[in-house]
Structure 1
């Protein structure tokens, strides 16, 4: 069970939303502040790896026409409509361990992950 306090990013549509820990929110803020021309991040489900998919976060200047917008205060997370059925409800944490920093995703729709944890398979 996930025990950290979560910050809810909601959408005006029927979706459950995206949930960030405080560490993840602080890191997203750092990404946004690093670039003066962006207003949010895009959470992407990318086809790759030995199990099929991996998450990717990138800063964006403006949303695509088919993006859903998830918001908490003045922070925006954009997700493509085609990806939302696989991403909806995902919990995101930011881990700092030794010399390694990374976003960690918790998604109940993931059915298998590869040995290194980089890619995964999703039930649809």
Structure 2
């Protein structure tokens, strides 16, 4: 099983977003896909039901899904929500990422390079 951590601040924000989008009992799906300058990028989406290959985690009442194929890349990742004068946003800290692009939207790991695109 993967170890992803959703902080309390992130869980609060996810609950609020899910309720506003009519999915108060939905699932937050955290995924990895190819692309970006460095090869991999994160995805977060609202889902109504788990997929056949999804692991189910729960943090502060938020159901989180991680595809088993993405689990090794995301293992140890912390998802937080940070608020500042400029607004707020999710911050993802993945200890497996060994390189990231300058804009911070893509990464790669030692074992998975992904499929880089031009930025």
Q: Which interval holds the TM-score relative to the shorter structure?
A: 0.7 to 0.9
Indicate yes or no: 2:64 matched with 1:80: no
Q: Distance in 2 between matches of 1:93 and 1:73?
A: 13
Does 2:18 match 1:18?
A: no
Runs of 4 or more above 6 Å deviation:
none
CA contact (8 A) 1:31 1:59 kept: no
TM-score (norm 1): 0.79
Aligned residues: CA RMSD: 1.6
- Measure, in 2, the Cα distance between the counterparts of 1:119 and 1:100: 21
Query: Which segments of 5 or more consecutive residues in structure 1 lack a partner in the other structure?
Result: 1-13
Secondary structure of the 1:96 match is: strand
Q: Which has the higher contact order (CA 8 A, sep 6+)?
A: 2
Q: TM-score, normalising length from structure 2?
A: 0.82
- The number of residues matched between the two structures is 110
Verify: 1:106 aligned to 2:86, yes or no.
Answer: no
